[in-house]
Amino acid sequence: MPMPARGPALAAIAPRQVRYILRVAEVTIATGILQLFVNPHNRELLTLSTRWSIAIVAGALLAFVLYGIVRGAAKPAIERLLAVAPIAAGGDEAAAKQVGLLRERIRKLGYVQMTIGIVILAAMVTARFS
């Protein structure tokens, strides 16, 4: 995509994408909580006596951490980027510097989210095969 078209495209896509990610995360967490009531192994979760229970509890806690990162850090950074980017495109040096910092912060948050997601997947695979 050509550089001049990226700003309007990001402004149109980013808010919907963030809302979509948050709703999918909320549904995923809600179905995980529902599993606690439906699963016959739910008594094992309280004792943490098996690999299965440790993996499920660790995955659930990390899912809440991941949701908090998206809700508390990534969403405000994206919203700030969308507010500052048009000003930077107009030639404001301070805004351009802030855009660079925000992009780097969003990138780092993305790496943290992917790392936590991989740990959650490994925990769920461990739970499945234990």
In whole angstroms, give the CA distance from residue 69 to residue 76.
10
- 35 token code pair: 């599993």
- 103 token code pair: 């992009």
Are residues 107 and 40 in contact, defined by beta-carbon separation less than 8 angstroms? Answer: no
Collapsed DSSP state (helix, strand, coil) of residue 12 = helix
Mind listing the pLDDT tens digit of every residue in the chain (130 residues)? 566 667 777 788 888 999 999 999 999 999 988 887 887 777 777 788 888 888 888 888 999 999 999 999 999 999 999 999 888 888 889 999 999 999 999 999 999 999 999 999 998 898 888 7
> Cα 119 vs. chain centroid, distance in angstroms?
13
pTM: 0.81
